[in-house]
Amino acid sequence: EEASPYSLVNICLNVLIANLENLCSERSDGTLCLPEHWRFPQELADRFLGVMTWQGKLTDRTASIFRGNQMKLKLVNIQKAKISTATFIKAFCHNRLIELDATAVHSDLPISDIISGLCSNSWIQQNLRCLLLDSTSIPRDSRLLFFGQLTGLRILSVFNVCFHTEDLANVSQLPKLESLDISNTLVTDISALLTCKDRLKSLTMHYLKCLTMTKPQILAVIRELKCLLHLDISDHRQFRSDLAFHLLQQKDILPNVVSLDISGGICVTDGAVELFIRQRPAMQFVGLLATDAGYSDFFTTKQGLRVCSYLK
């Protein structure tokens, strides 16, 4: 894909972004304003914002072009952007957003302000489906994150965020939640997941270094998540455990699982993994990186099974 030629749309967007200062007028507050007669279709507006973000051109000054109704956004990507809370709200929160990727945005825009801004729009509250907040900051004086008003949320990722057990309890009550990533958070107890056991389809929770539950307690929760299709409990190289080993011994767990990542797990063997998969013929992927498994012929001959293994 990298070798393929740029599309005409990309070329035009690059030219537009490079000449933004010349094409726009300046407001009294120093921010930029598009010519009044300009209008962007939603798909093009989303793409324009994405290219600006990727090029590192999204700032308080330039993000202001998304104010008003000239750009109608749905899929907003502001990864690693350095913009203020006021800019975020004015530029994006009046739109009918269904996805927001705010991964690793600057600390000037903390998670609490992102949630507050999104909840200021009743349409977003009911219809935002996907929210990615990985590596986003939380103010020290902020304790509980109030996701509860985002009732349309289906996908939430808070990887590497100061996200606590109380936050998990709040999130687990979201009525449409299907996919959750709580990896490298401060969660100590995952029992709250039982609240959404009948709708959660994907769970990623590697490197939960603060977890205080015993292995049987963790497995008891996972056993109740019968709707899970995807589970990632892969281990960090500095925080390896035998949770995967114990999981593989269970016959009455994850009956519908399609994808399982147990990379980095201790005491994981070919025999245990093979037996687990044979008992769950719908499985399509197993992650075995940095384990002692993945070497037998079973993994190369099993039709429809993709295996990621060997790296140590």
Q: Which amino acid is at 83?
A: I
Has residue 183 got a pLDDT over 80? yes
Q: What is the pLDDT of residue 134?
A: 97
Has residue 312 got a pLDDT over 70? no
- Could you tell me which of 284, 226, 224 has the C-alpha nearest to residue 259? 284
What is the share, in percent, of the chain residues with pLDDT greater than 90? 82
Distance between CA atoms of residues 64 and 78, nearest Å:
13
Q: What is the pLDDT of residue 9?
A: 87
Lowest mean pLDDT among 21-35, 94-108, 229-243, 271-285: 229-243
Has residue 235 got a pLDDT over 90? no
Domain ranges of the chain: 1-153, 229-312
Give tens-digit pLDDT for 134-170: 999 887 666 678 899 999 999 999 999 999 999 999 9
Q: What is the pLDDT of residue 237?
A: 67
Give tens-digit pLDDT for 4-59: 566 888 899 999 999 999 999 999 999 999 998 999 999 999 999 999 999 999 99
Highest mean pLDDT among 1-5, 238-242, 299-303 belongs to 299-303
Give tens-digit pLDDT for 97-138: 999 999 999 999 999 999 999 999 999 999 999 999 999 988
CA angle 85, 163, 76 (to 5 degrees): 40
Helix segments in 58-175, DSSP class H: 60-63, 85-92, 111-119, 122-127, 165-171
3-class secondary structure, 238: coil
Average pLDDT over residues 56-71: 94
Average pLDDT over residues 244-255: 95
Distance between CA atoms of residues 148 and 14, nearest Å:
39
What is the share, in percent, of the chain residues with pLDDT greater than 70? 95
Distance between CA atoms of residues 57 and 283, nearest Å:
43
- CB atoms under 10 Å from CB of 262, counted, come to 26
Distance between CA atoms of residues 112 and 233, nearest Å:
27
Has residue 1 got a pLDDT over 60? no
Q: What is the pLDDT of residue 8?
A: 86
CA distances from 300 to 76, 304, 308 (A): 40, 10, 11
Average pLDDT over residues 181-192: 97
Distance between CA atoms of residues 163 and 135, nearest Å:
11
Q: What is the pLDDT of residue 57?
A: 96
Q: Quick check: 142 and 117 in contact, CB under 8 A?
A: no
Q: What is the pLDDT of residue 139?
A: 76
Has residue 225 got a pLDDT over 60? yes
187 alpha-carbon distance from chain centroid: 17
Q: What is the pLDDT of residue 150?
A: 98
Has residue 278 got a pLDDT over 80? yes
Q: What is the pLDDT of residue 173?
A: 98
CA distances from 24 to 18, 45, 56, 181, 194 (A): 12, 16, 18, 40, 52
Distance between CA atoms of residues 33 and 20, nearest Å:
10
68 or 226: which leads in pLDDT: 226
Average pLDDT over residues 209-232: 97
Q: Is the dihedral of CA 199, 205, 209, 214 positive or negative?
A: positive
Distance between CA atoms of residues 171 and 146, nearest Å:
8
